[in-house]
Amino acid sequence: MDSQTSQSSQASAQESQKTQSPQEPQQEAQDAQASRPAPSAHTFQVDLRGLVDLLSHHLYSSPKVYLRELLQNAVDAITARRAEEPDAPARVRLHADGGTLRVEDTGIGLTESDVHELLATIGRSSKRAEGLQEARSDFLGQFGIGLLACFVVAERIRVVSRSARTPDAPPVEWTARDDGSYTVRTLPDSARPEPGTTVHLQARAGAGEWLAEERVLALARDFGSLLPYDVRVGEEAVTDLPAPWDRAYPSPAARRVALARHCHDLFGFSPLDSIDLDVPVAGIRGVAYVLPSAVSPAQRAGHRVHLKGMLLTERAEQLLPDWAFFVRCVLDTDSLRPTASRESLYEDETLAAVREALGERIRSWLTGLAAGDPERLAAFLSVHHLGVKSLARHDTEMLRTMLPWLPFETTDGRLSLEEFAQRHPVVHFTRSVEEYRQVAPIASAQGIGVVNGGYTYDSELVEALPSVRPGTAVAELDADTVTAHLDAVDPPEELALAGFLATARAKLDPLGCDVVLRAFHPLSVPALHLDDRAARHERARAEAETQADDLWAGILGSLRGSAPRARLVLNHLNPLVRRISSLGDAELVGTATESLYGQALLMAQRPLRPADSALLNRAFIGLLEWATHGEEGHR
């Protein structure tokens, strides 16, 4: 009975589920959700001391940035006031005395409510205050945390401010300590009669040197020399306007001298030349100084960038294209974005566009030198040809412009590609210095012009030559090409020397080298060692195979290629080779062949393998023994 009732109940339930409307499960879920307790909201627990330490000690690279932040706040406050009062005074005064620093400005100032809202809220910037948003692009600061940098050198910050926007409001004092605590109080009118702000710093233990007057003056001049307002440390002026590149000079020569002096003071070197960097669309004015000595392309250049007059960084690495490593820049901009620490540039589309525009300025300078000042261009290329070659391999127009000027090592001496192509119907080149050294003497004697493409970018530029000089034939010169240009020996003569050649080949076969007989000039060269890249790779693989265990030997064996081996080309016209080929002593022929092989390696300036060094030693000793035995026989 119970079982039947249960089954009946289950059937009824199943039937009920089949007839239940689709909305009912959703409704049940909503009812269940409504019956649960609502989640409670929580607030992040912030350790103010730890946060202040993080921002002030780890966001910035050096304690010196504290002064930049103070100057920045003062300049921004003046900018904000002048947006409302164009004739308002624009002064910043710094007074350093015995471990304390006082910074006064005639800026917009703050009310008590501004202090609570802005200074006491980390991450809130005064530039976001109502009424100032439209002038935001004129401010240097963008993050509202700069005042915390002062805690790097100070244990207490005291700010006394009076608002220019609310003249009736009393002065207000905000005092903060590095433990994250602060106090606020209003002051009598006499404490600050005029609108503006005064910041007082009390040095922390061990940081007093950063608040010394001499140090403050040096930092202020470094950071603020291009600021648009009157900034002084005591009675000493900080600003030095207009910028050196914007000043009027009596003559172009006087301008070059002045800029060279500026470069020496700023970067410590006297430049080869200076390049104006004027990009009005991006709000950029400045100058690039050409280094007087060669530097590695991999060396990261440090450029000085000012943002609206304030020095942002002296290590801007991404400002110029990589190929422009031969200049150092200093410029002022109002369009580039700083990072949160305001010590580097934010990588965005604007920076990419500026980088391209500045690269174009440097490219135009090079083109101008090529067109109107070949002597200065030659002096520049003698030092920085590598940078120009780097540019020319990606820029067809630059390659066409620089073609008559870029130097290359050739069998005709150091020439430009233009001059070399005029002399030779086919421009042959090698891809490595080693290959060039092997073939250059013989190719030159055969009338084959060869360019050494083994140096950085050279082979790429030679291959690009037809694109800027239509009709020019370019061909890579390898061992096979050189051998093909050498005269073959008459078959009867070569057949008569078959025994000599067989002995010589047997002697050099263990070294992976074949022996061929040719007739070529100059006669003074008895033998030529030719070895292309494929042969070297195969020889390296074979050597690795002999030294590897069974597993790796099998793997390397499977990679065995069919590349031609190195060749020792004996010169049939050379008297020494003729005498050696007529010797009847097979052992002496073998020793002489090894000597010719070693001498050919040394002529090609090839790096010697251990086996090659052993061969040279063995051949030298063998020849000495033969010579001394011969002397004994004569006695």
Question: Residues 304-328: pLDDT tens digits?
Answer: 999 889 998 888 888 888 888 899 9
Dist. CA 220–CA 28, nearest whole Å: 70
| pLDDT at residue 479, as a whole number | 66
pLDDT at 616: 83
Contacts of 88 (CB under 8 A, 6+ apart): 78, 81, 82, 106, 164
Query: Which position has the higher pLDDT, 326 or 2?
Result: 326
Mean pLDDT for the stretch of residues 240-265: 94
Looking at residue 158, its pLDDT comes to: 92
Does residue 264 have a pLDDT over 90?
A: yes
In the predicted model, is pLDDT for residue 606 greater than 90? Answer: no
Across the chain, mean pLDDT equals 80
Q: Which amino acid is at 81?
A: R
Hey, what's the torsion of the CAs at 531, 534, 536, 542, to 10 degrees?
-130
Q: Assess whether pLDDT exceeds 70 at residue 139.
A: no
Mean pLDDT (whole number) for 136-147: 46
Average pLDDT over residues 246-265: 94
**pLDDT surpassing 50 at residue 298:** yes
Buried b (16+ CB within 10 A) or exposed e, 239-264: beeebbbeeeeeeeeebeeebbebbe
Give the lowest-confidence range in 121-125, 322-326, 531-535.
121-125
Q: What does the pLDDT read at residue 251?
A: 95
Answer yes or no: are the C-beta atoms of 273 and 259 closer than 8 Å.
Answer: no
Whether pTM exceeds 0.85: no
pLDDT at 126: 45
Name the band, by pLDDT with cuts 50, 70 and 90, for residue 21: very low
pLDDT at residue 451, as a whole number: 94
The pLDDT value recorded for residue 519 is: 87
List Cα–Cα distances, 333 to 31, 238, 317, 404, in angstroms. Answer: 61, 19, 16, 37
Contact by Cβ (8 Å): 387, 324: yes
- For the ranges 6-20, 183-197, 260-274, 548-562, the lowest mean pLDDT is seen at 6-20
Min mean pLDDT across 26-30, 264-268, 426-430 is at 26-30
pLDDT higher at 614 or 332: 332
The pLDDT confidence band at residue 583, using thresholds 50, 70 and 90, is: confident
| % of residues, the chain, pLDDT over 70 | 78
pLDDT at residue 135, rounded to an integer: 37
Contact 429, 450 (CB under 8 A): yes
DSSP class of residue 338 equals B
Is a pLDDT exceeding 90 seen at residue 513? no
Over residues 410-467, the pLDDT tens digits come to 999 999 999 999 999 899 998 888 778 877 777 777 778 899 999 989 999 999 999 9
